[in-house]
Structure 1
Amino acid sequence: MTDFTSCTVAVSCLLPELEQPARLLATRLQLPLQTVDINTAAAELLLCVGSDGLSLQATGSGAPGAVRVDFVEGALAHRRQFGGGTGQMVAKAVGLRGAIRPTVLDATAGLGRDAFVLAALGCEVTLIERQPVIAALLDDGLQRARQAGGEVAEIAERMHLLHADAIEAMDRWSAEAPQVIHLDPMFPHREKSALVKKEMRLFRPLAGDDLDAPALLAAALHLASHRVAVKRPRKAPAIDGPPPSAQLSGQSSRYDIYGKKKL
């Protein structure tokens, strides 16, 4: 049975004609199907099948708005066009410069934002997400991006999603080793933006904190051929393990960089 940590989750459909795909999704994720009004649902979180794809919605009074993965429009489209290219912190941390575009494994993919930025800049990116609901949202966003055509579809074709436990997947990796592994473990930090608050309210009950972050780092250091880049809140301690060889700090976050050899 799928482990959904500390909250109850169900699948719902926003339109009657979408009940069949919602039923199939519920079966695949081993979740109940609820076809009730969102305000009277028994589950704490609803994975909603709508005409514009999947969304995750909390229920009850005072619940934050729905979260979905959208690579075509909105914040990620703006970041793709105006985000600063290889000057972005994630690009620097991964080692993009000049014509260098390493292969990247994003082992804590989440909603895929960092992976999308790296793919938009020309990297081939493999994404691993272990939480089934978050993986479903990410897969839905990638499918819609590929269907959109044009530049966004080309970017999405450089993104390859695996639904797996990252530590297990890295330990049994049989393909060519990624040059760079990107990690962004869940951490009990307190960014103040409304977007982060909304997502954290939805995702923390699902995913919990990554208490196995030291094992995640160890597996990444063993697999990566060139470097591991770990995203952390700016004032958070480094993950237990060997000290980073370099750090890159921004306003609210930083990267701990573990170099193995030059890209």
Structure 2
Amino acid sequence: MSDPLSANAIAVTWLQDAYAPAAAALAAQLGLPCCGADAALFSLWLQIGEQGLSLQASGPDAPGAVRVDFVEGAMAHRRQFGGGAGQMVAKAVGLRGAIRPRVLDATAGLGRDAFVLAALGCEVTLIERQPVIAALLDDGLQRARAAGGEVAEIATRMQLIHADAIDAMQNWQGPAPQVIHLDPMFPHRDKSALVKKEMRLFRPLAGDDLDAPALLAAALQLASHRVAVKRPRKAPAIAGASPSAQLNGQSSRYDIYGKKKLEA
């Protein structure tokens, strides 16, 4: 991972006074400043309010806040109309017929791919190493579980680990995941407003995954059946082992590293 934003460039704040104690507790947990009126001194705000936790950049031309929402909005639409097991991520991890592998998403980010796989019936473990992004994801999962109904059921199949993925995979305890999903941070070419907004907020936090070759090597060592690596469509494969297959989409592709056939 390339050099992230310095810790003093982000602060935890609150949107309603009732959330000031929760903001203080989160700031202490993350080792970040907590502030109210002087929040403008910081480049990024991790803010708590009635709709949960969100990340907001300061400044007059800043994009809107980003938060993890599995209940409504884009993820709700994708759950209902996204194409089910025909989606590229589902094909990449090997979903077909009754096959629903145990998946480790070792670069969880905002959890969108993991949520799609969990919605399709997979048990998914998520690893996110960047503390602020992990906090956003944890908040989204908690709200999903509290929402009840189908979304809560899906969220019960998602378990979050805040850790360095390479260390976690090298010291894995318990049954090995059948499939490991990787989506290393990369200069994305997707020009959608949503992706551009998120990249503007997250790249200063997370940087690029310069240790992607080590990440892939650890995944190949741990996964029992396959590793699926998401890449921009024209990007080179990660240095190291060569993929055994590729799955191409309009703006991205998956490099598939097969080890053993998945069976129901």
For normalisation by structure 2, the TM-score amounts to: 0.96
CA displacement, residues 135-167 of structure 1 (integer Å, 9 cap, x when unaligned): 000000000000000000000000000000000
Counterpart residue identity of residue 163, structure 2: A
Unaligned ranges ≥5, structure 2: none
Measured on the aligned residues, the alpha-carbon RMSD in Å equals: 1.1
Using the TM superposition, name which of 94-103 and 29-38 deviates more. 29-38
Contact residue 3 and residue 207 of structure 2 kept, 8 A: no
Distance 1:243 1:192 in 2: 28
Distance 2:109 2:200 in 1: 14
Q: Secondary structure at the match of 2:41?
A: coil
Distance 1:84 1:18 in 2: 38
Taking the TM superposition and a 5 Å limit, the aligned residue runs for 1:67-82 are 67-82=66-81
Counterpart residue identity of residue 200, structure 1: M
Between the two proteins, the alignment pairs up a number of residues equal to: 259
Counterpart residue identity of residue 203, structure 2: R
Deviation at 1:188, TM superposition (A): 1.3
Deviation at 1:17, TM superposition (A): 1.1
CA displacement, residues 32-68 of structure 1 (integer Å, 9 cap, x when unaligned): 0010276xx1110000000110000000120000000
* Residue equivalent to 2:127: 128
Q: Secondary structure at the match of 2:79?
A: helix
* Residue equivalent to 2:195: 196
Contact residue 189 and residue 251 of structure 2 kept, 8 A: no
Taking the TM superposition and a 5 Å limit, the aligned residue runs for 1:65-104 are 65-104=64-103
* Residue equivalent to 2:53: 54
Distance 2:123 2:250 in 1: 28
* Residue equivalent to 1:111: 110
Query: Percent of aligned pairs with the same residue?
Result: 78
Does 2:116 correspond to 1:146?
A: no
CA displacement, residues 180-226 of structure 1 (integer Å, 9 cap, x when unaligned): 00000000122110000000000000000000000000000000000
Deviation at 1:6, TM superposition (A): 2.3
Counterpart residue identity of residue 182, structure 1: H
Distance 1:6 1:250 in 2: 32
Distance 2:226 2:69 in 1: 29
Using the TM superposition, name which of 112-121 and 188-197 deviates more. 188-197
Unaligned ranges ≥5, structure 1: none
Does 2:172 correspond to 1:168?
A: no
Distance 1:189 1:53 in 2: 27
* Residue equivalent to 2:16: 15
Deviation at 1:174, TM superposition (A): 1.0
Deviation at 1:12, TM superposition (A): 0.3
Distance 1:4 1:137 in 2: 21
Contact residue 53 and residue 139 of structure 2 kept, 8 A: yes
